Every structure is written in C-alpha cells, then in structure tokens.
C-alpha cells in the first residue's frame, strides 16, 4: 500500500540528497582494497568488501560515508565499465571456463563461455577475445564474459604479437589479393630508365619506395630527382584494395616483422623499386642552390625508372667514413653517392641556420630468432647514409607541400604549432631562470621557435631541453596548409611513402590531379581523424610488444644480475621512470628505493626533480646506475633500484 505513496517518494529523495555522492575512477591495489580517484588531488578509500562489486578502471558513482573516523566510499552506480571488449588467458577448472583479463591489477577469474557464433574449443593457457556482459554493480550476481574468438593456443612464440594486436583490434596479416584487384592506369610517363637511380635502405628492406638521381650544373647548383613508388597507378580510388588501405592507414612496423598496408605482392614486388626492374613512379625534380635553399619551382611528373643499385645504410655509411671493405659497384654509383653526400652536408648547414636540426638519438632494435626469441637488443645510431635519405625526403616533401598549397590549398599536411600562449609564457618564465631571454609572443612564431631551438642546441643542456619539450604541442595532421615548427618549415606534406601510408596515397592522387590538370577531390575531416587514431593505436601496439619482449629478455639470469645505466625520463608522484641506455627498456624506481623516510622525500613532476630534505637529488635527464629488482611478466613491468 506504500509502494506508490508520494510522501514516501519525496522522503526517499531527501534521504538520497543528504547522502553525498562522488564520481571517479576505481584504482585497485594488490592488497584487496582500492581507491576512488576523483581527480589528481583527491581520492577516497574503498574497503575490500566494497571492491568485490567493481573492477579496476571502472567509472562509478559512490556514496561517501564515515567509518571509524575515516572517509570511505560505497559503490552505487556503474557509469562506464573499464572492461568491455578485452583479451585474456583462459583457464579450465572443474569443467568450467574462466578468463583472466590481460591488464595490470585485474587478476580475478571471470566465469565465461563461448558466444553463439564462436566455434573455437578452449583449453587452459589459450588466449581469447571476450566481451564482459554482466557486472555486479548492474545488479548481476557475478561478473560474466562471453568468448568471441580464440587468439592463439598456449606456448605459441607469437603470443606477444598476436595478443597485443587483438587487444588493439589491429590486423595481424597482409591483405588478400584477388584477380580483379589490380588495374594499371596507362598515363603518359617520362622514360628515365637510363639514369643512374639508386636506393638506400636497411639491408632487409623489401618495400622500397624511394630512389634518387642527382647531378650538378655549371653554377654548382644540385639537381635532385626523387622518384617515389606509385601504387595509385594500380589501385583505383574506391576499389576494394583502396578501401582496405584506408582502414589500415599504415604499414604496421613491429619488433621482428611488419604487417603491410597493401598486399606484399604489391608493396614488396610490383610497386617496390627493386634493382634492375622497370617501375612506374611519381617524381619530383628539385633545384638546390649553392646556399642550400630549395627552388620554389620544383617539377612534378609521372615517369618510369630502373634502379641501378640497391644499397644499404651501413655499407654507404662505411664507405663514406672510409671503413670496411664494401665499395660501389662502379664509378657511376660512386658519383651518385658522393654528390648526395655533398648535398646532404649543404642542407644540414642550411637547416642549422634557417630551420631545425634533428637530434641524433639512440634507437634500439630487437634481434630475434626464427622462433621469436630475443637474442639481443642492438643499439643503432643515425649515420650519414640515413641523413642523406632524410634530407632528400625533406626536399621532396617541402616541394610537394608547396605545390599542393599553391594549386589546391588542401591535402594531408603534417603540422606542429609549437606553443600555445599559456605554455609560451611558461617557457619564457622557465628560461629566465637560466638567464635566457625570450618573449612568449616571439617563440610562438616559426622564426622565433627556430631561434629558440638554435640557442638550446648550442646550450646543449638535456634537462632544459626536456622541460621545454613538455610545453610543446603534439604533431598533428591538417587538411589545409600550416607550419611545422618542430621541423622548421612553413608548410610540409609527406608523399614519399605511399606503399606504407594511406595519407601519402591521398597526396599522390592530389599531386597527379595537378600534373594532369584534373579535378581534385578534397579529403574530409573523417579521413584525417582516422589517420590520427590509427597512428596512435599502431604506436601503442609497438610499445606494448616491446615492453613484453624486454621483460622476456631481462628475466634471464645474466641480465637480472647486471648493472645498467638509466637516463631519468620522467618523475611521477611515487617514483622515477628511467630508460636503460644499454637496451632502451623502461624501468620504474619506487620512492622507497630512493630514500627510506617518505616524509623527507618530495616528487615534483612539474619541475622534473626529486628533493630529499629540501635538496635536489635527482632530475630528469640525469643518468644513474641501477640494478633490476623485480620483473613482472603478468603486467610487463620492470622495477629497478639505484645501485648505490
């Protein structure tokens, strides 16, 4: 009789209002209790009994209560579950299936069963994709998941790759090729097959997309022709292969292997600029003056080339640096290398004064066996041959961006805006502490930004450089022309990797429309957002696989007992993140290993410093000696401690 009583309803509403509610993200701990993180500064304790209703990462609404003079929260409403589609490891117990999500701090068994469309049989140790369909905070008695499909069986050496790609919903195979997929467009092309084009890549590269030919006129100006593989001559706009490429967006380069955007018969054969094979290209001939500047009248055209030599970075670098025994196969190839080297040095000199130079950061490469075992981790540096290709591609991309801007005013442009007003003010204030005078409004211009980088390069202070980069914006894509501050150019658009990047295929078609005087179709905002999202997912997948391989490699006894040098790359509220210089692995050093008395230890993430008793003991960019303390395969974490 009281069920629909309006007075009772009002009373319930009043009681509900009097009980304070808070919204936040659940953070689990290994000891059963958790916290509801409301913001960066405020969190509330969740007792173990209440944690049984939620999962780490859930966004919830909770009642705020006082128990034993302590603020606690009681989960009340699920706003957004952390788990929806997820990957995990299957276990069979008493003829029942369970799945353990492959996420840190989610180690509870979730009962599960295959959904109606799943035809796979599951055994303990198998990896699977699942959907969470029941949640305790929704009123369900248990957490429950449906298995969508099996990823791989136990003990497959490809587990790190297959599981990670499934987690991020990325392809793990090349696209299929059907009989009617390829149609060659017979456009007018300039025959350049007699010229001594060469390619320079890693020794194992199969998808070769750029070739170079260079000569010098009587005035000392360089004439560089950059020939780029032309997959758009085989792939029609809107065709099946074009749609596949537009979904993949990139060739996904992962440790040990790659997953191509296009079928390998295209990317590594028909379109690849393999030696002594006639190939269609989109080409650009650019004049580079004696002062290193690029003529604004670069010529774009369609052509045929036949590469005369497939060279490797290491061999070319060794020969230029007078190392090793390798030498060019003939005088013509030798001449090409020498002229390209001269052009590279000229452009580096020009960019030093007028744009921005790249930093020679270390790169790391996993040396894997045929069964995916990490044999070693190799440290690689950018050598002179890398810089030759780098400078040549910059010339091509600057020229392409100028042509697109002048004739169309749209395309897929690479942009970087430097600093916004607030961050520019922070930068100017920060630099004043080091007697460096810069005005915020000046460093927000391309010229002022380049001057700032020039001064910082001379100063060569890694701590200052690190702090300044934290204030910079991220690189982005734009459909309209815009500056790229981080490169130092007023406009930049890539078109030099069309068999690896769909955005470059788009720019190819736009450049062709200018050459052939045809109508150009402007790319839409949706395409741009897809490019950005796919690039993000690919990079996260690469990082996740690398973290997995680092753990497997460092777990070995000979590595666990080693002492490493670690560069501090970040300071958090609870410790230090470092990168091992010897192999590139990221490690975490908890505060307890830095100083035993927590009250005397202050972490300042904004300034990138750690203070002990008021004095700076660690800062970002410092190199410290560390030993590995704990290596956790289940969450791919590596814990280290200082080697005092």
pLDDT in tens, 13-71: 554 557 799 999 999 888 889 999 998 778 899 999 999 999 999 999 999 988 877 88
Task: Write the burial class of residue 419 (CB in 10 Å: 0-12 exposed, 13-18 middle, 19+ buried).
Answer: buried
Asked if 294 and 404 sit in the same domain, the reply is yes
125 assigned to some structural domain: yes
165 assigned to some structural domain: no
Asked if 204 and 91 sit in the same domain, the reply is no
pTM for the structure as a whole: 0.90
Calculate the alpha carbon distances from 207 to 165, 171, 274, 507 in Å: 22, 18, 9, 19
348 assigned to some structural domain: no
Q: What is the pLDDT of residue 106?
A: 87
**Residue 160 is encoded by which pair of tokens?**
């790190």
Asked if 493 and 560 sit in the same domain, the reply is no
Asked if 437 and 573 sit in the same domain, the reply is no
Last residue of a domain, one of 46, 80, 114: 80
171 assigned to some structural domain: no
Asked if 250 and 140 sit in the same domain, the reply is no
Confidence of residue 8 (pLDDT cuts 50, 70, 90): low
Asked if 540 and 562 sit in the same domain, the reply is no
Q: For residues 358 and 568, give the distance between their C-alpha atoms in angstroms, rounded to a whole number.
A: 21
180 assigned to some structural domain: no
Q: For 283-330, write each residue's pLDDT tens digit.
A: 999 999 999 999 999 999 999 999 999 999 999 999 999 999 999 999
Decide which of 389 and 556 is more confident: 389
Q: What is the CATH number of the domain that holds 563?
A: 2.40.50.140
Q: For 139-186, write each residue's pLDDT tens digit.
A: 999 999 999 999 999 989 999 999 999 999 999 999 999 888 888 888
447 assigned to some structural domain: yes
Asked if 116 and 148 sit in the same domain, the reply is yes
Asked if 469 and 455 sit in the same domain, the reply is yes
CB 320 within 8 A of CB 341: yes
Q: What is the CATH number of the domain that holds 108?
A: 2.40.50.640
Q: For residues 24 and 78, give the distance between their C-alpha atoms in angstroms, rounded to a whole number.
A: 10
Nearest to 62 by CA among 49, 48, 44: 44
Dihedral pair phi/psi, residue 524, rounded to 5°: -100, 170
Asked if 314 and 383 sit in the same domain, the reply is yes
Number of folded domains in the chain? Answer: 5
The β-bridge relationship of strands 309-312 and 198-201 is: parallel
CB 309 within 8 A of CB 198: yes
DSSP 174-220: PPP--TTS--------EE-TTS--EEEE-TT-----EEEEEEE-TTS
Q: For residues 190 and 187, give the distance between their C-alpha atoms in angstroms, rounded to a whole number.
A: 10
120 assigned to some structural domain: yes
551 assigned to some structural domain: no
Last residue of a domain, one of 80, 112, 130: 80
Asked if 527 and 381 sit in the same domain, the reply is yes
Q: Could you list the residue range(s) of the whole structural domain that residue 604 is in?
A: 556-642
Q: What are the residues whose beta carbons fall under 8 Å from the beta carbon of 96, sequence distance 6 or more?
A: 111
Mean model confidence pLDDT for the chain: 93
Asked if 237 and 328 sit in the same domain, the reply is yes
Q: What is the pLDDT of residue 561?
A: 83
Asked if 385 and 520 sit in the same domain, the reply is yes
Q: For residues 272 and 558, give the distance between their C-alpha atoms in angstroms, rounded to a whole number.
A: 42
Q: What is the pLDDT of residue 1?
A: 46
- Please compute the mean of the pLDDT values over residues 351-368 and round it to a whole number: 88
The residues carrying an active-site annotation are: 201, 207, 209-210, 313, 500
């Amino acid at each position: 009789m009281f069920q629909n009583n309006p007075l009772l309803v009002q009373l319930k509403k009043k009681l509900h209002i009097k009980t304070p509610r808070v919204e936040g993200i659940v953070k689990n701990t290994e000891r059963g209790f958790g916290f509801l993180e409301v913001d960066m500064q405020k969190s509330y304790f969740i007792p173990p009994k209440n944690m049984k209703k939620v999962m780490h990462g859930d966004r919830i609404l909770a009642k705020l209560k006082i128990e034993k003079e302590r603020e606690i929260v009681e989960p009340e409403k699920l706003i957004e579950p952390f788990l929806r589609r997820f990957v995990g490891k299957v276990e069979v117990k008493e003829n029942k299936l369970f799945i353990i999500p492959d996420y840190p701090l989610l180690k509870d068994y979730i009962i599960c069963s295959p959904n109606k469309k799943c035809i796979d049989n599951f055994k303990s140790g198998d990896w699977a994709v699942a959907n969470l369909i029941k949640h305790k905070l929704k009123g369900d008695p248990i957490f429950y998941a449906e298995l969508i499909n099996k990823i791989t069986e136990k003990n497959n050496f490809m587990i790190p790759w297959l599981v990670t790609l499934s987690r991020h919903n990325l392809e793990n195979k090349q696209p299929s090729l059907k009989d009617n997929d390829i149609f060659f467009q017979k456009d007018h092309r300039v025959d350049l097959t007699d010229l001594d084009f060469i390619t320079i890549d890693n020794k194992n590269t199969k998808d070769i997309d750029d070739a170079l030919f260079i000569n010098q006129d009587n005035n000392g100006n360089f004439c560089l022709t950059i020939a780029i593989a032309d997959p758009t001559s085989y792939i029609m706009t809107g065709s099946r292969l074009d749609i596949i490429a537009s979904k993949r967006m990139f060739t996904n380069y992962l440790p040990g292997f790659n997953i191509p955007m296009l079928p390998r018969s295209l990317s590594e054969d028909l379109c690849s600029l393999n030696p002594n094979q006639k190939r269609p290209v989109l080409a650009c001939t650019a004049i580079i003056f004696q002062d290193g500047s690029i003529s604004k009248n670069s010529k774009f055209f369609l052509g045929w080339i036949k590469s005369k030599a497939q060279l490797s970075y290491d061999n070319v670098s060794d020969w230029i640096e007078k190392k090793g025994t390798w030498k060019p196969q003939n005088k013509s190839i030798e001449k090409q290398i020498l002229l390209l080297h001269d052009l590279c040095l000229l452009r580096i000199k020009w960019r030093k004064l007028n744009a921005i130079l790249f930093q020679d950061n270390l790169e790391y490469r996993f040396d894997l066996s045929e069964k995916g075992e990490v044999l070693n981790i190799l440290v690689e540096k950018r050598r002179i041959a890398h810089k030759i290709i780098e400078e040549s591609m910059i010339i091509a991309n600057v020229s392409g961006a100028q042509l697109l801007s002048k004739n169309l005013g749209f395309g897929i442009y690479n942009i970087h805006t430097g600093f916004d007003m607030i961050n520019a003010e922070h930068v100017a204030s920060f630099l004043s502490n080091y007697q460096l005078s810069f005005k915020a409004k000046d460093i927000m211009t391309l010229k002022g930004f380049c001057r700032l980088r020039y001064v910082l390069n001379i100063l060569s202070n890694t701590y200052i450089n690190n702090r300044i980069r934290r204030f910079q914006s991220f690189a982005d894509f734009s459909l309209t022309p815009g500056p790229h501050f981080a490169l130092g150019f007023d406009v930049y658009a890539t078109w030099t990797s069309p068999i690896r990047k769909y955005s470059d295929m788009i720019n190819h078609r736009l450049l062709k429309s200018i050459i052939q005087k045809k109508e150009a179709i402007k790319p839409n905002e949706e395409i741009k957002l897809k490019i950005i999202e796919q690039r993000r997912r690919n990079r996260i997948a690469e990082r996740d696989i690398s973290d997995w391989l680092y753990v497997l490699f460092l777990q070995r006894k000979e590595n666990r007992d080693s002492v490493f040098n670690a560069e501090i790359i970040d300071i958090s509220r609870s410790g230090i993140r470092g990168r091992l210089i010897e192999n590139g692995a990221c490690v975490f050093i908890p505060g307890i290993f830095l100083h035993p008395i927590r009250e005397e230890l202050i972490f300042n993430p904004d300034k990138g410093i750690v203070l002990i008793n008021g004095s700076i003991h660690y800062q970002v960019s410092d190199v410290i000696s560390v030993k590995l303390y704990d290596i956790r395969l289940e969450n791919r974490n590596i814990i280290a401690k200082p080697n005092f």
